[in-house]
Structure 1
């Protein structure tokens, strides 16, 4: 992987790095808190660590603000935030979460203390550090294909800590935290009302994280099935990055950015993004990226005229209520009160935009005193900031350029072009069972399996509490595979994507009928395997306690299977045992066969097929990368799918079948029963091979 150091000018350098560290912590805490309920499928109590977001409340205690505004105290806090990045290298998940939470608290405290400084130079530097730090943060993710370098590997984590430590020490030694100007606060008559202003800034903070924590996020909001799937995250995410940069560059046009017309532009943009598909939705996302960054200066200028402790408390309450509301729109089946929030992102959009409106327009005269302090034109040459902004954007765009690949996706070379393999895995959003990134290990596993078509369930990590990552784009680029990501991330599912070494000809994304339980995603896709069309129906059905849902879903999927004109494979997470009503519906009404009807020890994942010859079947342990094993099957496309004989005999002696059909010996030999390995291996009476 590449790592791009930050480039800036003079003292702003340290501020940009501080801003980068701030965003790494701010966006890194959510996924770690979320990790526990993800594993338990219920609220775990560790959500209490979010309380560190409220560290700014401490400045409300008399004397604390003065104490912390001391350069040495600030220096200690700066070193603490950088040190807490090392939480990534902690030995256990809980220690990691605790250190990360403390670091986030320290970062929030620095943010508040310096943004409310009486010295306009410190205020201004903090503001631009946060803004340019954000652009650097988003640009660095481009190089890591949507992942955060700080939380990617021990090496990249150490590099960020090194750069952060140098910047923090430079801050302390250069004395840039020392007050230079004693400035009288503006007259009270000018002050905006603190409550609406704080709600407005909290909403802006959430909107920035939700839609633009990574530059290609909104492209997964507008995706549809092939062939007209709309703009792909690569390269169209580059335009969102340019939009964010443009938003920063037009901040100085304050007459426009603080007008109600500009707010209406923002509102229309987010409604386009949410309600319109593909290219029209993308244009909305582009408009929203410019709007979102451009109003930071307006809201921060108003916010810093309000009392710091209670304002920041309301800011964080607003931000967290919106984050939790978004969790509730998707996880409504596992949380109290979910029935009211189910699939209601529209309520959330209304709350965010109304919040921003009241923050921008209720009470008080406008006062340029943070981003562009009136008394300090010399100290904030906006030309310099423009230069740094453009430089950071260029680094991000260079990342997009470096990822460009001339090579068409190469089809696998095989002796028998009619043979192919398919796999299904519930992936757990790219985090292993201890909460560390599992992407590289998963990519190596996919290479070892040699699977040609893979369906990854629980794979939509583009939500802010899952890290804003695009797993499909990462695997597609890493493994050289076509990606079909669906349904769109705004459709409130946990995600469902297909990776294929062969071209995807067409596909349809479905939301299965789910009157009671969680919304179930499915894709029906047609893949061109060496000139032969094969259909795939892939899905993650609803929870086992919602019987009506599963009954309706099985009926829907069976209909999809019967309507497939080509040979078809079903790769599904069915949440019920073999020969349950749902299983029987799929087999009988869907007119498909089970890959191994003698395998009674299954609960979730199933592979079924029609008009194909089965060659082999394997179950491979997850080795701690997820809570579910991988299942895989090998097939041959018959010359005449209407008139052929399937393989009926089951054997476990691999020496009796062609070498081309063998599963990778790296996973060991035939293994009966369950096994819990730290490495991937066959288990559950597999691998099995099939003969005529």
Structure 2
């Protein structure tokens, strides 16, 4: 090896080869590990490693990385030998990079070195623990590797020595790496969800591209490590800041800042990062408390079946109006820490068992939270940087709330309807909230709202804008699945799916926040407003991807315009802008409820089913706020929403970093929630289908707790294959923008059809099925007077036989004409199907009387599951073309107000069997037999006999009924 060109007697020689050989050896051995496995695997097991869970050769003709390195001997062993050899140069590479970039007093090189070490360890994890060995740990380690690749990549660019060629290569390779993730995910979804032949092969090419790009990115260190003659000696002075490039250092520094979005440009300070984290978490707490109010209020009219009086508590959010009282305003401004601590009552409420008292505690929390935030924004309005920090905390806090709700299947883990028994993290959330408030309020309060700037513009227009903005953010963006369910229209899937494409909403919100702080002049224009209006129109009027793309445009616009609108409102009288603004927001919330609940509220029929009016009003209110902003801009040479002082601070890099972290956390949750496709019926050996109908009362139990876990347990223990859920549409402000079906479907391994979406003005009907849903259509039945009646008509593939399932919720008892028209509609719909069919329904009729004889008729061709059961009024199961074997009624415990009815059917195995089933006489169909004559696999679980378990037992008959046919 080359001798040292420097005769420094104080520097000891550790190794005598040039540092770039560490990079080259790492690159060569890493490529050799993957390439050798690919060559050997293709030569020995080609057809086996290209086969996946759906297709094989010739549909799939190129193997994925995981199939190549983890499934077969000897390629797996060859790969592991070379990847083990790679670990030595890999650890050396991370160490050399730290020595090259470490400077006295700098924290970033240490952080990047730690991320590089963790990344190396997780790489060993997912390569040695393959998906065949342990699928969960393989995925966890793989996700961790990708997560730590983000700081490693951006940090290497930010710390790159002044070498123009190395910086250029790193920028290109990093861009290509992260750009490849988009088509990679797309084709994986095409394969996993849509089962497209050949999609996995294309996915495999992108997967191998990631490997190539990832190794190539680290190979660029060879251009920097040639400054080392030995690992610990700098032979060219680059580690001391010497510039060996012909390109000026200042130019290169700008290139590095541009490549990393300026995140690392001003250094890193832990105390500043903690300030931003506390602000955002406190913003998350605000949204958590505000969005919980509707749910706990809704509990009372739900159980009273009408106006309860407790609805008045939604007005607690107008508390900022109290800031119009001078003495009270002074008191709040001087005691902001106490005010924000008191607002945490909204989190402590989960400790209150009694629903009424819990509601009042939440209402108090909402009032004080709105009051405290309005006072803080007004106080900080004289300091541009602090104001922008507060506004960003409020907006990014909403995004954090959406991320948390996605991770908890649309429930917020710190809501007062959550506790440990149903997945709540209330105690942890409360402790973090207290710490966040203490840090959020550690700076001395300012006295804002008195500048000449505060007097410019219209306070009324600003209040209108705040009201429309908060309603838009709450109703559409507080859950990532809301807009997706607006455009959902049944099977086959032709648009986005909540647990697959929810990140698109988060990405659009993120883009809006970035635009709001970086391009305020662009955001506060009528052109941008027009884009938002078009997006709102598309979301309201269209289904599938077109409607959702409109929703994404609207999401980006709302989070972008939120920053200048809130900033402008903070500079005016908070009593008006936020007090009146929240009052307008509340009227919009009522408007939002009345379009569905028109049968239960005064004046409801005037706004019946007018979601389009809501969207128009919402955009007009935001337009009023924009008009105020534009009028202010016309009077000033600078944009009000982006004061000069704000751009000179360093807080934005932390906010951008927080956005990146939240997006990564969402994607991690997305991977963990990705459909497992484990849809196995309970008793396939008997060709059995167990079907149920349950009115779940909006997933709130008798004690005001979210009831998904308890529902899951009962459905699993009863071995239900297909279930219709009624009163299941929770995607409204008053119901928390939730979706129970996501948790049930993913946990139970079932396909799900949400039914008519939240913009279809029904109380909801959903279908969960262990069997593939080949096609489904949604129906809104005739309802000239009362509430809209939803129905789902789905065709299932049940053991190779097509079976139609109808899920239906009829109108209320008070509207007999509606129910008559609906019975005729359903009879014709069921009669139109020549296939075996099941109706899972809520009919509001007496057995053998009235409309019952329309549902069970020659027109429909349907039979009652047990016409001797005369104790029914609401829930019914009807069928045709199937062999009924059992029927049971299971008590609800305290989950809801309605029992779970379940029936068992055998699907005909042949045409002759099917023909005999259709033509069987009534006496044979209705003959009952004792349980002993029924095969074991066709019986209902014995655990619900007698007293049952957890309050669930067989009731009415005190035991299941079994039938001979």
What's the TM-score, normalizing by structure 2?
0.68
Match of 1:683 in 2: 955
Match of 1:578 in 2: 847
Match of 1:216 in 2: 481
Alpha-carbon spacing, 1:140–1:370, altered in 2? closer, same or farther (3 Å): farther
Q: Do residues 75 (structure 1) and 75 (structure 2) align?
A: no
> In structure 1, what is the Cα distance between the partners aligned to 2:943 and 2:871?
24
Match of 2:874 in 1: 604
**Structure 2 counterparts to residues 330-341 of structure 1, below 5 A:** 330-341=596-607
CA contact under 8 A between 1:520 and 1:541: conserved in structure 2?
yes
How far apart are residue 65 of structure 1 and its match? 1.7
**Structure 2 counterparts to residues 178-193 of structure 1, below 5 A:** 178-179=445-446, 185-187=451-453, 191-193=456-458
> In structure 2, what is the Cα distance between the partners aligned to 1:537 and 1:183?
59
Match of 1:642 in 2: 915
Match of 2:856 in 1: 587
CA contact under 8 A between 1:55 and 1:109: conserved in structure 2?
yes
Alpha-carbon spacing, 1:413–1:618, altered in 2? closer, same or farther (3 Å): closer
How far apart are residue 649 of structure 1 and its match? 4.9
Q: Deviations over 1:523-565 (max 9, x none)?
A: 1111111111111111001111111111111111001111111
Match of 1:269 in 2: 535
Match of 2:762 in 1: 493
**SS at structure 1 position matched to 2:856:** helix
> In structure 2, what is the Cα distance between the partners aligned to 1:177 and 1:563?
72
**SS at structure 2 position matched to 1:230:** coil
> In structure 2, what is the Cα distance between the partners aligned to 1:286 and 1:271?
12
CA contact under 8 A between 2:387 and 2:567: conserved in structure 1?
no
Comparing 354-363 and 537-546, the one that deviates more: 354-363
Alpha-carbon spacing, 1:183–1:359, altered in 2? closer, same or farther (3 Å): closer
**SS at structure 2 position matched to 1:44:** coil
Return 5+ residue gaps in structure 2 as ranges: 1-139, 145-269
Q: Do residues 384 (structure 1) and 658 (structure 2) align?
A: no
How far apart are residue 186 of structure 1 and its match? 2.5
Alpha-carbon spacing, 1:624–1:413, altered in 2? closer, same or farther (3 Å): closer
Alignment counterpart, residue 350 of structure 2, candidates 88, 101, 108 = 88
> In structure 2, what is the Cα distance between the partners aligned to 1:338 and 1:122?
44
> In structure 1, what is the Cα distance between the partners aligned to 2:729 and 2:672?
25
Q: Which has the larger radius of gyration?
A: 2
**Structure 2 counterparts to residues 59-458 of structure 1, below 5 A:** 59-70=323-334, 73-117=335-379, 118-120=381-383, 121-151=385-415, 152-154=418-420, 155-172=424-441, 175-179=442-446, 185-187=451-453, 191-251=456-516, 252-362=518-628, 364-366=631-633, 372-379=642-649, 381-405=651-675, 407-412=676-681, 414=683, 416-458=685-727
Match of 2:834 in 1: 565
Alpha-carbon spacing, 1:311–1:410, altered in 2? closer, same or farther (3 Å): closer
Q: Deviations over 1:480-500 (max 9, x none)?
A: 100011112211111111000
**Structure 2 counterparts to residues 439-478 of structure 1, below 5 A:** 439-478=708-747
Alpha-carbon spacing, 1:423–1:355, altered in 2? closer, same or farther (3 Å): same
Q: Deviations over 1:40-72 (max 9, x none)?
A: 1211001122232121121111222222112xx
**SS at structure 2 position matched to 1:502:** coil
CA contact under 8 A between 2:378 and 2:448: conserved in structure 1?
no
Alpha-carbon spacing, 1:312–1:104, altered in 2? closer, same or farther (3 Å): same
> In structure 2, what is the Cα distance between the partners aligned to 1:171 and 1:23?
16
Alpha-carbon spacing, 1:594–1:116, altered in 2? closer, same or farther (3 Å): same
CA contact under 8 A between 1:297 and 1:370: conserved in structure 2?
no
Alpha-carbon spacing, 1:195–1:171, altered in 2? closer, same or farther (3 Å): closer
**Structure 2 counterparts to residues 541-556 of structure 1, below 5 A:** 541-556=810-825
> In structure 1, what is the Cα distance between the partners aligned to 2:682 and 2:331?
68
CA contact under 8 A between 1:192 and 1:305: conserved in structure 2?
no
Alpha-carbon spacing, 1:182–1:82, altered in 2? closer, same or farther (3 Å): closer
How far apart are residue 370 of structure 1 and its match? 8.0
**SS at structure 1 position matched to 2:326:** coil
CA contact under 8 A between 2:564 and 2:642: conserved in structure 1?
no
> In structure 2, what is the Cα distance between the partners aligned to 1:591 and 1:374?
74
How far apart are residue 570 of structure 1 and its match? 1.0
Structure ranking higher on relative contact order (CA contacts 8 Å, 6+ apart): 1
CA contact under 8 A between 1:541 and 1:550: conserved in structure 2?
yes
Alignment counterpart, residue 655 of structure 1, candidates 924, 932, 935 = 932
**SS at structure 1 position matched to 2:273:** coil
How far apart are residue 684 of structure 1 and its match? 0.8
How far apart are residue 119 of structure 1 and its match? 4.1
**SS at structure 1 position matched to 2:665:** helix
**SS at structure 2 position matched to 1:409:** coil
**SS at structure 2 position matched to 1:553:** helix
> In structure 1, what is the Cα distance between the partners aligned to 2:467 and 2:344?
24
Comparing 202-211 and 311-320, the one that deviates more: 311-320
CA contact under 8 A between 2:792 and 2:806: conserved in structure 1?
yes
Counting matched residue pairs gives 678
**SS at structure 2 position matched to 1:10:** helix
How far apart are residue 334 of structure 1 and its match? 1.2
**SS at structure 1 position matched to 2:365:** helix
Match of 2:792 in 1: 523
**Structure 2 counterparts to residues 503-514 of structure 1, below 5 A:** 503-514=772-783
Comparing 438-447 and 110-119, the one that deviates more: 110-119
Q: Deviations over 1:277-296 (max 9, x none)?
A: 11111111111111110001
Match of 1:628 in 2: 898
CA contact under 8 A between 1:222 and 1:276: conserved in structure 2?
yes
How far apart are residue 184 of structure 1 and its match? 5.7
> In structure 2, what is the Cα distance between the partners aligned to 1:236 and 1:50?
32
How far apart are residue 360 of structure 1 and its match? 0.8
> In structure 1, what is the Cα distance between the partners aligned to 2:736 and 2:493?
28
Alpha-carbon spacing, 1:89–1:371, altered in 2? closer, same or farther (3 Å): farther
Alignment counterpart, residue 298 of structure 2, candidates 21, 30, 34 = 34
Alpha-carbon spacing, 1:379–1:68, altered in 2? closer, same or farther (3 Å): farther
Alpha-carbon spacing, 1:7–1:540, altered in 2? closer, same or farther (3 Å): farther
CA contact under 8 A between 1:7 and 1:13: conserved in structure 2?
no
Return 5+ residue gaps in structure 1 as ranges: none
Match of 1:50 in 2: 314
CA contact under 8 A between 1:200 and 1:356: conserved in structure 2?
yes
Q: Deviations over 1:135-154 (max 9, x none)?
A: 21111122112211112333
> In structure 1, what is the Cα distance between the partners aligned to 2:867 and 2:935?
23
How far apart are residue 604 of structure 1 and its match? 0.2
Match of 1:664 in 2: 941
CA contact under 8 A between 2:591 and 2:614: conserved in structure 1?
yes
Alpha-carbon spacing, 1:183–1:24, altered in 2? closer, same or farther (3 Å): closer
> In structure 2, what is the Cα distance between the partners aligned to 1:78 and 1:379?
25
How far apart are residue 678 of structure 1 and its match? 5.7
